[in-house]
Amino acid sequence: MSGILAVLEAGHKLSAETLAAAQDLGAQLGLPVHSVEPTIPYTADAYTDALAALIRDKQFQVILFPHTYQVRDYAPKLATRFDKALISDVIRLRVESGEIRATRQLFQGKLNAEIRPIGHPVFLSLQAGAYRADGAAAAAVEALPAPTTEPRQRPEEKFREAQRAVDLSAAQTIVSVGRGIKEKENLHLVEELAAALGAEIAASRPICDSGWLPMERQVGSSGQTVAPKLYVAVGLSGAIQHLVGMKGSKTIVAINKDENAPIFEVADYAMVADLFEVLPALTAEIRKAKG
C-alpha cells in the first residue's frame, strides 16, 4: 500500500490546513490519504522513531507536516533517516504533469523558489495560509507504533514567563517597528507616532532580541498574534514569521525604503520612503487630522 500521510499536531491550528492540502494532493495524484496524530509525549527521538516505523511499514510516498516549532524540531531528522531533505516552510503546493511542485520563500520572503522534489518519499512542511482549512474530509487514521528506543532528550514541564503585562491582541491601533529604525535612540519617532494615533507599540523579533523593546511587544509566530483596525509597519521588512502574526489586521500601512520588502505584499497602503523623513511629518499630520 502507498499513499499520502498527513502528520497532524493535536490542538494546532495548522493541522486542518495540512489535512486539506493532503486531501487536495491525494485527489490530484490519485493517492489515498492517511493521517496520524501522535499522542505520545513529545521528544524528537521518540517521534522520529515511531513515524519512521510507520512510514516504512506502510510505504508512504508523500509525508505532509504543518510547519510548527515542534515539526521544525524533528521532521528534518525523520527525513534524513530516509536520506531525503525535508522541503520546509512551503507556502504553495500544486501538481504539474503528475508531479508535486512546491513554492517556498528565500531571503525571508523577498524571493520565492519553485521546488521539484526528486524521488520518494517526499517530505514537506506547510506554512500557515498555504491552504484553506475548511472542507477537508477526514482521512484514514493510522495508529502510531510505539518507539523502540529510549529518547535521549528529557523534557520538563512547559512554562510561560511572567504574565504578559501587555495584551496587544486587544489593541485597536498598533504602530510596529522593525530594523529600519537602526538605533534604540530613534525609537522616540515611533513612540510619538503611536501617541498621536493612540496606538500600542509593537515590534519585529530583532528589535526585541536587541532589548530595545520588551519581548512582550513582539508580534509574530514567536510573539503575539494581532488583528487591530489599523496596523502601521515602520521600517519593518515583513519576514513570514512576522506576517503570520499581523496579516489579519483590517488596514495595514507599510513604510519602508525597500520597494521589494515583503511587508508591501500584505499592505493596503504602501509608502516607499525613508522613515526618518516620513515619521515626523506623519505624526504632525495625524495630530492635525485628529485635531
Partner 1 sequence: MKILVAIKQVPVRDSLLAAAPGARWIEESSLEYEINEPDAYALEEALQLKEAHGGEVIALCAGPDRASSTIREALAKGADRAIHIEVDDITSWDTLASAKLLAAAIRTESPDLVFTGLQSDDLGAGQTGVVVAELLALPHATIIMQVELDGSSLRVKRELEDGWFQHVAMPLPAVLTIQSGIKKLRYATLMGIKKAKTKEVKSLSAADLGVVNAASYEVSGVNVPQRTKQTQIVSTVAELVGKLRDEAHAL
- Chain positions 65 to 124 lying near partner 1, rule: CB under 8 A, are 68-70, 72-74, 76-77, 79-81, 83-89, 101, 105-119
Q: What's the CA gap between 128 and 248, in Å, rounded?
A: 12
Q: How far is the CB of 69 from partner 1 (least distance, A)?
A: 5
Q: Is 265 an interacting residue with respect to partner 1 (CB under 8 A)?
A: yes
Q: Look-up: residue for cell 491601533?
A: 173
**Nearer Cβ to partner 1 (144/273):** 273
**Nearer Cβ to partner 1 (3/109):** 109
Give the number of other Cβ atoms within 10 Å of residue 213's Cβ: 18
Q: How far is the CB of 142 from partner 1 (least distance, A)?
A: 23
Q: What's the CA gap between 68 and 88, in Å, rounded?
A: 10
Q: Is 209 an interacting residue with respect to partner 1 (CB under 8 A)?
A: yes
- DSSP one-letter code for 148: S
Order of strands, sheet of 33-36, starting from the edge strand that comes earlier in the sequence: 99-106, 87-96, 122-126, 62-66, 4-7, 33-36, 140-141
Q: Is 253 an interacting residue with respect to partner 1 (CB under 8 A)?
A: yes
Contact string (CB under 8 A) for partner 1, positions 19-48, x = contact: -------------------------xx--x
Q: How far is the CB of 159 from partner 1 (least distance, A)?
A: 6
Q: Give the HSE-up count for residue 194: Cα atoms under 13 Å, Cβ half-sphere.
A: 19
State the angle between helix axes of 275-290 and 187-197 in degrees (0 to 180), rounded to the nearest 10. 20
The sign of the dihedral angle between the CA atoms of 16, 18, 21, 22 is: negative
Cβ(241)–Cβ(226) below 8 Å: no
**Nearer Cβ to partner 1 (1/41):** 41
Q: Is 53 an interacting residue with respect to partner 1 (CB under 8 A)?
A: no
Q: How far is the CB of 88 from partner 1 (least distance, A)?
A: 5
Q: Is 183 an interacting residue with respect to partner 1 (CB under 8 A)?
A: no
The size of the interface with partner 1 (CB under 8 A), counted in residues, is 85
Q: Which of 208, 213, 234, 275 binds partner 1 (CB under 8 A)?
A: 208
- DSSP one-letter code for 270: E
Cβ-proximal residues to 57 (8 Å cutoff; 6+ apart), any chain: 145
Q: What's the CA gap between 108 and 220, in Å, rounded?
A: 13
Q: Is 227 an interacting residue with respect to partner 1 (CB under 8 A)?
A: no
Q: How far is the CB of 78 from partner 1 (least distance, A)?
A: 8
Q: Is 210 an interacting residue with respect to partner 1 (CB under 8 A)?
A: yes
Collapsed DSSP state (helix, strand, coil) of residue 93: strand
Q: Is 258 an interacting residue with respect to partner 1 (CB under 8 A)?
A: yes
Please choose, out of 18-26, 131-139, 186-194, 283-291, the segment that lies near partner 1 by the rule CB under 8 A: 283-291
Please choose, out of 23-31, 53-61, 182-190, 262-270, the segment that lies near partner 1 by the rule CB under 8 A: 262-270
Cβ(101)–Cβ(62) below 8 Å: no
Q: Is 145 an interacting residue with respect to partner 1 (CB under 8 A)?
A: no
Q: How far is the CB of 19 from partner 1 (least distance, A)?
A: 19
Compute and round to an integer the Cα radius of gyration of the chain: 22
**Nearer Cβ to partner 1 (134/157):** 157
Q: What's the CA gap between 181 and 236, in Å, rounded?
A: 9
